[in-house]
Structure 1
Amino acid sequence: MNYRFRRWMRQQRARYGLRRGLDAISKGNLQDALARLTLALNDHPYPARVYLAFGSIHWQQGDIPGAIAAFSEAIRCDPACVKAYGNRALLQAEQGNLEAALADWQTGLSYSPRSALLLYNRGLFHLQQQNLEAALEDLNGAIAANPNLSEAYFHRGNLLRQLGRWSEAIKDWELALCNDLRLEQARDSLLQVQQGHREYQLSEKIQRALAMPELRVAVEKKGNQLDIAVQRPKGTGINYMTLPDRIRARLVPLQLPDIRQFKLIGKVGEQNFPEWQQIYKLYQNLPCPPTHWRIASLTALLLFPPLGIPALVYALQVRQAYRRGDYPAAMHASHTARALSVTGSALMSGLLVLGLGYLGADRLRSWVQSMEALPGAQAAVLEPTPPHSAGHSDLPETSAHILQRADESRGYRLEK
């Protein structure tokens, strides 16, 4: 009994020593951690855990062979130690032992087929080896095992971008940010792709506006400026004096935020140096947008003041923004003033229609009630009194009898 108790006490001290050793590792006190783990190794009931800690210390110290040996001892103590297989596989891959690394990952997955960490690390290994299909399969499995693994979404997005599946890549980067807002790489990749997509759309729009299929247009945003490169083949003429106005006419309706000017770069063929290069103001010599102050005043004073007053305020801001050179703000104020005025007029018209409809329905109800109140009016209309004869009783005839008499009378007139 005393032997069992003493053994249990040694195991508890070893457990406590392992916890203290792991705490020292997290704080960077590696020598203290080594001392505590050495004392805990002999009496710990699960020595594989102690060897895992030893391997972590050697890894941090840069002693790769020592770390591999420690993880191998953990596997010897516990052949199903999945974490030891995963760590040793990473070190084997770092040492260039690719087959040994793949073997360790495969063995670890045989014990834990849904280990997200093993699948994720093996997927990164395949991605580095440009084995894209195998990498995609492993990353899919890691995400299925742990849907909150943000790094797996990020790397799968990078892989899908290499495969040309841009929409799926954007979704993965968005999911990576949803799971970890601190993942700056995913945010940068997402912003870069979105910016590239917007630039491509602008290039397509300008290409169609120029109506010259032989030209190639490329747009790049740099701060508050757009660099528009127009490349023409040799033998194709282009008028650089009118081209800026045609580009401006296409860009102004788009109301691009933070864009105040564009740089036109003209090139010929595959030459690197430009034949034309000049910066133009985007909103230069444009007329002032309409203020819509008349309809705004009418809406504010008569139709619907709750929306008319803000519309009038925006209408007054149009010329102010135009005079200080902020054309986008002037256009925004003009559109807002018109939208508020039209909405207020529509609401007022709807209220008027509802009011008139209510009055009409009320008068119709009153007329129906007054008609129903007249004595015998309905009976006189629906049941006219037939002429009396000797062979008929004084009882009123039914509608069927009346229709029959009318048919007989009509037939009699036709025969006569």
Structure 2
Amino acid sequence: MPTIPLLPSQLVVTTIFNSIESLGFCNIAGKVFSDEQAESRQEANLKVSTKKVYAQGLKHLEQEDLQGAINKFTAAININPHFASAYNDRGVARYKLGYKQSAIEDLTTAIELNPYRAKYYSNRGFMLTRLKDYTAAIADYNSALLLNPNLAQAYFNRGAIRLQMENSLAALADFESAIRLDRDLAKAYFNRGVTRYKLREVQGAFEDFQKAAGLFKQQGRMDYYQDAVSKIRKLWY
């Protein structure tokens, strides 16, 4: 059978096609996949680095090395600016060092990055309370309890604000919720006793101060124990 000659243009096209195959360019999908794998490994390495630095920050915080903790949390944020937990814990460290405004800014950023963590709202609520911004603090505790209705401390803290604001009935409800969730929360009994006394429930107040005194003594919190005993004596006599 006679051979069909290739035209020059066909020969060029065939040669180029064979060259592309020999260079491996026909496997473009495989090359892209390899790039994705590299990016995935890079992201994984960044996550490991962030968690490692963040864990070092937590260790410093536990040891009360507050500036060391701030430095590590800042380093973690520099690696991953979207790491909400690092902002939260840096805020806690900053607050303990007296940097209250920057602490609140950190908590606000943490909430913006992850608005579904109750403890971020609770922590900011605590800080706002110390700045006497009671309305904003209550709003934060409301958010925290909406996300997690089992936070005894959040109920107690909100109740303490309401007691300060002379909203005794709302405060009483909060202290009762705190006690329901944590039967050993001595301060909740003490504050409920104060609230009951304000509401002229003298017998209930007396019982709460007794319960608080017993718990404070068991927990070795003798200053608070003396306060409770003082309240009992005033009611007794």
- TM-score calculated relative to the size of structure 2: 0.73
Match of 2:99 in 1: 63
Alignment of structure 1 residues 222-237 onto 2, 5 Å:
none
Are residues 166 and 188 of structure 1, via their aligned partners in 2, closer, same or farther at CA, if it must alter by over 3 Å?
Answer: farther
| Residue 9 of structure 1: how far off its partner (Å) | 3.1
Task: Give yes or no for contact 1:151–1:176 (8 Å, CA) kept in 2.
Answer: yes
Match of 2:226 in 1: 188
Are residues 196 and 89 of structure 1, via their aligned partners in 2, closer, same or farther at CA, if it must alter by over 3 Å?
Answer: closer
Are residues 156 and 4 of structure 1, via their aligned partners in 2, closer, same or farther at CA, if it must alter by over 3 Å?
Answer: same
Letter in 2 for 1:14: T
Listed as ranges, the gaps of 5+ residues in structure 1 are: 201-416
Higher relative contact order (CA 8 A, sep 6+): 2
Q: 1:87 aligns with which of 123, 126, 147?
A: 123
Q: 1:8 aligns with which of 11, 34, 44?
A: 44
Letter in 2 for 1:152: A
Alignment of structure 1 residues 134-153 onto 2, 5 Å:
134-153=170-189
Are residues 183 and 18 of structure 1, via their aligned partners in 2, closer, same or farther at CA, if it must alter by over 3 Å?
Answer: same
Aligned length: 199
SS in 2 for 1:114: coil
| Residue 51 of structure 1: how far off its partner (Å) | 0.6
The structure number with the bigger radius of gyration is 1
Q: 1:125 aligns with which of 140, 143, 161?
A: 161
Match of 2:23 in 1: none
Letter in 1 for 2:169: E
Question: Any idea what the Cα deviations from partners look like across 1:216-256, whole Å, max 9, x if unmatched?
Answer: xxxxxxxxxxxxxxxxxxxxxxxxxxxxxxxxxxxxxxxxx
Task: Give yes or no for contact 2:66–2:94 (8 Å, CA) kept in 1.
Answer: no
CA–CA distance in structure 2, aligned partners of residues 126 and 63 of structure 1 = 26
CA–CA distance in structure 2, aligned partners of residues 55 and 138 of structure 1 = 26
| Residue 13 of structure 1: how far off its partner (Å) | 2.7
Are residues 147 and 67 of structure 1, via their aligned partners in 2, closer, same or farther at CA, if it must alter by over 3 Å?
Answer: same
Are residues 45 and 4 of structure 1, via their aligned partners in 2, closer, same or farther at CA, if it must alter by over 3 Å?
Answer: farther
When you count helix as a share of all residues, which structure comes out higher? 2
When you count strand as a share of all residues, which structure comes out higher? 1
SS in 1 for 2:98: coil
Say whether residues 1:49 and 2:85 are aligned partners.
Answer: yes
Are residues 173 and 32 of structure 1, via their aligned partners in 2, closer, same or farther at CA, if it must alter by over 3 Å?
Answer: same
CA–CA distance in structure 2, aligned partners of residues 116 and 36 of structure 1 = 31
Match of 2:28 in 1: none
Match of 1:108 in 2: 144
Are residues 187 and 98 of structure 1, via their aligned partners in 2, closer, same or farther at CA, if it must alter by over 3 Å?
Answer: closer
Task: Give yes or no for contact 2:213–2:229 (8 Å, CA) kept in 1.
Answer: no
Listed as ranges, the gaps of 5+ residues in structure 2 are: 1-36
CA–CA distance in structure 2, aligned partners of residues 172 and 155 of structure 1 = 8
Are residues 184 and 161 of structure 1, via their aligned partners in 2, closer, same or farther at CA, if it must alter by over 3 Å?
Answer: farther
Are residues 195 and 117 of structure 1, via their aligned partners in 2, closer, same or farther at CA, if it must alter by over 3 Å?
Answer: closer
Match of 1:226 in 2: none
- RMSD over equivalenced CA pairs, Å: 2.5
CA–CA distance in structure 1, aligned partners of residues 116 and 87 of structure 2 = 14
Task: Give yes or no for contact 1:15–1:44 (8 Å, CA) kept in 2.
Answer: no
Are residues 8 and 171 of structure 1, via their aligned partners in 2, closer, same or farther at CA, if it must alter by over 3 Å?
Answer: farther
Alignment of structure 1 residues 357-368 onto 2, 5 Å:
none
Q: What is the identity percentage for the equivalent residue pairs of Structure 1 and Structure 2?
A: 26
Task: Give yes or no for contact 1:154–1:186 (8 Å, CA) kept in 2.
Answer: no
| Residue 91 of structure 1: how far off its partner (Å) | 2.7
- TM-score calculated relative to the size of structure 1: 0.44
Are residues 166 and 81 of structure 1, via their aligned partners in 2, closer, same or farther at CA, if it must alter by over 3 Å?
Answer: same
| Residue 163 of structure 1: how far off its partner (Å) | 2.9
CA–CA distance in structure 1, aligned partners of residues 141 and 105 of structure 2 = 17
| Residue 193 of structure 1: how far off its partner (Å) | 4.5
CA–CA distance in structure 1, aligned partners of residues 138 and 231 of structure 2 = 33
